[in-house]
Amino acid sequence: MARRQNSAPPEDFTEKIIDIDVETEMEESFLEYAYSVIYSRALPDARDGLKPVQRRILYMMTDMGLRPDRGHVKSARVVGEVMGKLHPHGDSAIYDAMVRMAQDFSLRLPLIDGHGNFGSLDDGPAAARYTEARLAAPALTMTDHLDEDVVDFVPNYDNQLTQPEVLPAAFPNLLVNGASGIAVGMATNMPPHNLGEVVAAARHLIAHPEASLEDVMRFVPGPDLPSGGKIVGLDGVRDAYATGRGSFKTRATVKVEQLSARRTGLVVTELPYTVGPEKVIEKIKDAVTAKKLQGISDIVDLTDRKHGLRLVIELKNGFNPNAVLAQLYRFTPMEDSFGINNVALVDGQPRTLGLLELLQVYITHRILVVRRRTSYRLQRKRDRLHLVEGLLVAIVDIDEVIQIIRASDESSAARERLMTIYDLTEIQANYILELRLRQLTKYSRIELEKEQDQLRLEIAELEAVLGSEERLRTLVSDELAALSEQFATPRRTVLLESEAAAPLKGSALPAPAAKGAKAVLPLEIADDPCWVLLSASGQLARTSDRQPFGDGQRIKHDAFRSVLASTARGEVGAVTSGGRMIRLQVMDMPALPPTAGIPNLAGGVPSSEFITLERGESLVGLAPLGAVVALGTAQGVVKRVQPDYPLNRDDWEVISLKPRDRVVGMAAAADADDLVFITRLAQLLRFPASAVRPQGRTAGGMAGIKLAAGDAVLHFGSVSSGDGQGVVVTLAAPGDALPGTAAGSAKITEFSEYPVKGRATAGVRAHRFLRGEEALSLAWAGHGPARAASANGVTRALPTEHGRRDGSGVPVTQQIDAVGPNLVGLIEATRPAVPEPVAPPAEPASSSGRPVRTVQPTDDGQGTLL
């Protein structure tokens, strides 16, 4: 192992020790370092909105010819060129800056067109050797006209190359794309804005240099974040625009959706700026585990490239979506704050700028760029005009010019002779000498004179621009307008003055409370009274309250078959034709928004989502689980069921049916009500409900109506005793024709005209058939006036007058047109409401005292009755 040997200093060595104050040295060194970080690394220039590394990337990519109309190249190649020629720092810093300029979720107007994995809000990008890049179209406007002396160039780090001190920047990049950076002792954090709005504000400021901040904010009301979302509360934005410092709250865009028949969810389509879905999912799971969040059953990320962000948060039944959302805003990044700190370099010094100052600095820079470009173009035009004028002088006697050149011993002599003979300048003479003989053919006198005139016009125009400050500012404004028309896009972020203006989509409830504020909404939905609705087309829903409907059976494109009073956390039973009752949770049904009129069933779901029917089985209606329910079967059996249903089952039998029998009707029936059977052969039996004692759910019932051979029950129901609105409607059609293909007859009679008979009797005749008629097609007894409903839910009103018998006792009937085959039956037109509705006035009777109305089919072919 070698040993270190101490060698003596040389004989002429003189020791010199200088005492340095450590405090002074540290202060000076730190200031140099801080200035280097501020000026050369962390803070953007207020003119082009770029940090040095970003500016060098764009300039080098322009120099490499990576235009949008050319192919992508490896990102590593760009990083290497920038690092080797302009930016002698680590490749990771260069690549990170390059990646950010390609991310559409970071910049409002990306400057680099990336190909490959350039990362997401939750994941980093792939390595530079895997990705490819080229300039985006807006980046060309940032570097355009660099070859026309529009900005100053400075040496690179080794003084071998030059680079632009600032880019021309055809649009206000600092405001449009924002910036963020941490320097020594200061930092910057600027949000992106909408290009169209910023350009409109800049043009207004160009036209009105004395404009105030309020005038400018009419064009730029607030930031426009790439991720969209909502900005709630604009006071902080106004402070930032006035002073350069402020903050605002951003919220996710959320709407309520019915995920399934039983599940409601919060669907997140936009998140706050710089917040990724994986971060939100993680925070939600942590908050649910810590029991800070309640009412959430699952969260699914359905984000893809086709549909964009879609985060589905499934809610448990019975929880208020707005209250759950308020918890999400409080405990997760679905609500975030953005602190504005507009620090940028102005003349090499860091300054905190408001909106007006930022626009003024950019406009001043852009006016200087256009002035320098115009001066450069003017000089080029003057130089060309000078050459053209020399050619026009020489082309008049081109043969003599050639002879002078041939006779000269050297080019200097030829130059002197041309300058002397034709009074040319040295530049003109050199240009003529440098022409090749083949070029002389295109220089005709007419063409040169035309070019001369055109050059003089262009020079006059450029001189006019330079000579008028107003025309120069107008030119800058017009160029900004053209750029805005090409690249501007609609606003993505919604600006809300306050939280009261931020309702939850799909919900009629008030907006949630702010983060940190005391919640004013109940987390769980209260057990409030409501209506449970079953429509003729099989839609199930519930209302959010129990307001009266008026004539609540008729709604647009549908009709109510069952309307049952319940509560939001209650239960109801669905009775099927197979004698089963299925327990339904009211909370599982979608809630319709409150309305002053008839509820709209557009928000309902098919009953098949809740009820699984067997082959040949159909849904009869809804029944309360806490009241006695009467059932009637096709074979004439009647049963009143005791409400002693099992608590541990969701499906049970309520009547034991005989073979080939089925339930045709059901209704809640108190002892004071009357039960009604109507058969196909037009027999009607009315008897008191008290004649049928309630039985257990496994009983088979008792004889209700005595049926003749070939007869069957068509309708079973109950009518309140002594109700003056009770009516009986019977519809008959020829028995030898298909339903809906031949004319028939209809009859409407007051229910009070039918006598009360004993149970298990044949009843009385309710309809006298005309010639060719053999049976009833539809029958109904209940509260009038009635309506007919088809299978697609369309309803038509029936007459309100009641038919009476004449002296001979023959029912008066009216010939009707064909009745459609798809009718689900006759329904009650007036719902017992809260309060009780007023009965509609009766129409005057006919001259014979027997008012009868016509029943006609509709144009839709479904057989809906009038």
Which residues belong to the active site? Answer: 130
Task: Output the six-digit token pair for 49.
Answer: 């909105």
399-413 burial, b at 16+ Cβ within 10 Å, e below that, comes to eebeebbeebeeeee
The span from the CA of 180 to the CA of 834, in Å, is 61
CA angle in degrees (0–180, nearest 5) for 696-702-706:
160
Q: Kindly report whether the peptide bond that precedes residue 490 is cis, defined as omega within 30 degrees of 0.
A: no
3-class DSSP state of 448: helix
CA angle in degrees (0–180, nearest 5) for 775-780-783:
160
The span from the CA of 863 to the CA of 865, in Å, is 6
Q: In what order do the strands lie in the sheet with 764-765?
A: 713-720, 673-679, 683-688, 764-765
Q: What is the DSSP letter of 822?
A: T
Beta carbons within 10 angstroms of residue 71's beta carbon: 9
3-class DSSP state of 582: strand
Bridge partners, residue 540, by sequence? 534, 605
Query: Quick one: which of 604, 572, 508 has its CA closest to 261?
Result: 604
Query: Quick one: which of 69, 133, 80, 66 has its CA closest to 103?
Result: 133
The span from the CA of 427 to the CA of 368, in Å, is 30
Query: Quick one: which of 448, 605, 619 has its CA closest to 541?
Result: 605
Q: Is 844 exposed, middle or buried (0-12, 13-18, 19+ CB in 10 A)?
A: exposed
Sign (positive or negative) of CA dihedral 226, 183, 238, 336:
positive
Beta carbons within 10 angstroms of residue 107's beta carbon: 21
Residue pointed to by tokens 């448990």: 316
Sign (positive or negative) of CA dihedral 188, 194, 199, 200:
negative
Write the CB contacts of 722 (distance below 8 Å, at least 6 apart in sequence).
none
The span from the CA of 71 to the CA of 132, in Å, is 9
Q: CB–CB of 684/766 below 8 Å? A: yes
277-301 burial, b at 16+ Cβ within 10 Å, e below that, comes to beebbebbeebbeeeebebbeebee
Write the CB contacts of 177 (distance below 8 Å, at least 6 apart in sequence).
49, 107, 108, 109, 111, 192
The upper half-sphere exposure of residue 695, i.e. CA atoms within 13 Å in the direction of its Cβ, equals 18
Strands (DSSP E) along 472-592, which ranges?
494-496, 529-535, 539-543, 554-555, 558-567, 571-576, 580-585, 591-592
The upper half-sphere exposure of residue 313, i.e. CA atoms within 13 Å in the direction of its Cβ, equals 30
Bridge partners, residue 422, by sequence? none
CA angle in degrees (0–180, nearest 5) for 259-264-268:
80
Task: Output the six-digit token pair for 397.
Answer: 């006697």
The span from the CA of 174 to the CA of 191, in Å, is 9
Task: Output the six-digit token pair for 289.
Answer: 């585990």
